[in-house]
């Protein structure tokens, strides 16, 4: 799998382009902003975009959904519990003095344990509520895309509507820290890390 990381928007969300080496099929994870730049990156690889996946519904992670889906017609996938956040994203952005284009409705609702086929790749959905009710991670091979659930040296904030600190910490411990220490962790903001590093050094865990 090839992974391209594009920090986008004023909050520098890590948008990920995941490409199957064999089939050249791809998905975009968390297109938070700069839709044209993201599509340019897709086109530059020559891959076939199959879907947009949101790890959760906060405005900074969904801002380019509409641009990409209108341009390509691909599916939009997210957990059902975050659909209300998706619908309220514009109002939430306004609180921070920002604006966001209203996202289309998801065409596939995800749940814990679901699998998403991208060519020869199989992305497993891990439901990780706490930062938001419908937060998910995507696990494929040795790579884990965690949205805003886990960061290098930190965890997602839980003071937003629908947040729950105890639920987030227990979910990380029970669902993520059981993965091999060498598992690469790709968060929604900031640098990459590993499960082993977070076990050893993350003060929240």
Pairing of strands 184-187, 193-194: antiparallel
Please determine, for residue 120, whether its predicted confidence score (pLDDT) is greater than 90: yes
* Cβ(180)–Cβ(139) below 8 Å: no
Look at residue 161 in the predicted model and tell me its pLDDT. 87
* Cβ(89)–Cβ(82) below 8 Å: no
Average pLDDT over residues 169-179: 98
- Kindly report the CATH number that applies to the domain delimited by 2-201: 3.60.15.10
Tell me the C-alpha to C-alpha distance, in Å, between residue 5 and each of 30, 69, 114, 133, 165: 11, 19, 24, 25, 28
Look at residue 42 in the predicted model and tell me its pLDDT. 97
DSSP state letter for 107 = S
Helix axes 65-72, 35-45, angle to 10 degrees: 50
Alpha helices (runs of H) in 57-191, residue ranges in sequence order? 59-62, 65-72, 83-87, 89-95, 165-171
Average model confidence (pLDDT) across the chain: 97
9 φψ region: left (φ > 0), alpha (ψ -120 to 50), beta (else): left
Please determine, for residue 121, whether its predicted confidence score (pLDDT) is greater than 90: yes
Phi, psi of 157 (to 5 degrees): -70, 150
Number of other residues whose CB lies within 10 A of the CB of residue 22: 10
Average pLDDT over residues 22-30: 98
Average pLDDT over residues 102-131: 97
Please determine, for residue 70, whether its predicted confidence score (pLDDT) is greater than 90: yes
């Amino acid at each position: 799998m090839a992974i391209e990381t594009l920090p986008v928007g004023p909050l520098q969300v890590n948008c990920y382009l995941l490409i199957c080496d064999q089939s050249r099929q791809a998905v975009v994870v968390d297109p938070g902003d700069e839709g044209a730049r993201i599509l340019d990156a897709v086109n530059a690889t020559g891959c076939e975009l199959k879907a947009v996946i949101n790890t959760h519904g906060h405005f900074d992670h969904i801002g380019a959904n509409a641009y990409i889906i209108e341009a390509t017609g691909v599916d939009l996938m997210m957990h059902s519990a975050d659909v209300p956040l998706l619908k309220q994203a514009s109002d939430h952005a306004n609180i921070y003095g920002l604006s966001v284009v209203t996202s289309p409705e998801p065409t596939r609702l995800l749940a814990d344990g679901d699998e998403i086929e991208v060519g020869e790749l199989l992305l497993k959905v891990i439901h990780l509520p706490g930062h938001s009710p419908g937060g998910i991670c995507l696990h494929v091979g040795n790579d884990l895309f965690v949205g805003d659930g886990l960061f290098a040296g930190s965890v997602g904030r839980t003071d937003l509507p629908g947040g729950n600190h105890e639920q987030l910490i227990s979910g990380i411990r029970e669902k993520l820290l059981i993965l091999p220490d060498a598992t690469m962790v790709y968060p929604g903001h900031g640098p990459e890390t590993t499960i082993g590093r977070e076990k050893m050094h993350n003060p929240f865990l």
